[in-house]
Amino acid sequence: MSDPLQLIDIGVNLTNKGLFNQLNAVVENAKSAGVIHQIITGTSLEESVLALELAKTNRLYFSSTVGCHPHDAKDFKQSDIKIMQQLAQDESVVAIGECGLDFNRNYSPQDIQEEVFETHVKLACELQLPLFMHQRDAHSRFAEILSRYQGQYKSGVIHCFTGDKSQLRACLDLGLYIGITGWICDERRGHELQEAVKYLPLDRLLIETDSPYLLPRTIQPKPKGRTNTPQNLVWIVKQLASILGLPEATIASESTKNARNLFALTI
């Protein structure tokens, strides 16, 4: 028997009710599947507070992020920045985000999204914390805003990357790590990403389930519900290994090393 894989899930929405209500089982199953650490995503001020509270219950196993998702940018207040600054002082907060731009759904007006995103980038520069970012159908504005701060921010990850080869290159040029989710396991809409990851250097690869979303479609046997959980991270590893022609152990060890580096994890 080879050693079990040791994986870090860099994006888990554990404060989501569907997961929170069965937290013990979710965590035990993840541990059995080799997930040694989870980073809980803060998607709004309220969620960021909850994410940190949860992270504090087991600092070795959890970390968290502090931010406001572009969907919620319209509800962001300038006074929120102070609270975010305070939350980010806690040792368990390892990144600023989720933040970014989403021009696919446009739940918040685009100019507000841009303003709030830039506020997050400035905060990350000030605190010297990495950025945890979301971008959908907004690549050029995203790259434009971020490039203004290049050299000032302490790296970051574009989480749930779904772009093509040229967008991948642009993100790498911005010094970013690339978060790969179960999107890569989707035979209907994952083709571009499956091509693009062939150009992703292994030292920029991160893996995440984005639970409870994006259930990998390659899971065998097919699960009954649609709720994704961190234990499914291994299916993303399997898919990457098969596309890249590398052992699963290599995908696991490289992505775990990268997560430790980017988020300065002490585990």
Q: Phi-psi region for residue 135, left (φ > 0), alpha (ψ -120 to 50) or beta?
A: beta
Applying CB under 5 A, which part among 17-25, 133-141, 164-172, 215-223 lies near Zn ion? 133-141
Q: Is 37 in the site for Zn ion (CB under 5 A)?
A: no
Q: Which stretch binds Zn ion (CB under 5 A): 44-52, 130-138, 180-188, 243-251?
A: 130-138
120 sits near Zn ion (criterion: CB under 5 A): no
Per-residue binding string, Zn ion, 134-173, x by CB under 5 A, is x---------------------------------------
Q: How far is the CB of 247 from Zn ion (least distance, A)?
A: 29
List strands edge to edge, sheet with 177-180: 7-12, 35-40, 62-66, 93-102, 131-136, 156-158, 177-180, 205-207
- Cβ neighbours of residue 178 closer than 8 Å, sequence gap 6 or more: 157, 158, 161, 168, 171, 172, 200, 204, 205, 206
In the complex with Zn ion, the residue whose CB is nearer, 71 or 165, is 71
**Residue for token digits 């507070």?**
49
Q: Which is nearer to Zn ion, 134 or 139 (CB)?
A: 134
CB of 120 or CB of 134, closer to Zn ion: 134
Tell me the window of 2-10, 83-91, 127-135, 167-175 that interacts with Zn ion (CB under 5 A).
127-135
The smaller minimum CB distance to Zn ion, of residues 5 and 133, is found at 133
- Minimum distance from CB of 160 to Zn ion (Å)? 5
Size of the site for Zn ion (CB under 5 A): 1
Q: How far is the CB of 13 from Zn ion (least distance, A)?
A: 9
Confirm if 11 and 255 have CB atoms less than 8 A apart: no
Minimum Å distance from CB 214 to Zn ion?
A: 10
Give the separation between CA 260 and CA 127, rounded to whole angstroms. Answer: 18
The CB density around residue 193, as the number of other CB atoms within 10 Å, is 24
Can you name the residues that pair with 35 across neighbouring β-strands? 7
Whole-number Å distance between alpha carbons of 220 and 213 = 18
Residues that bind Zn ion (CB under 5 A): 134
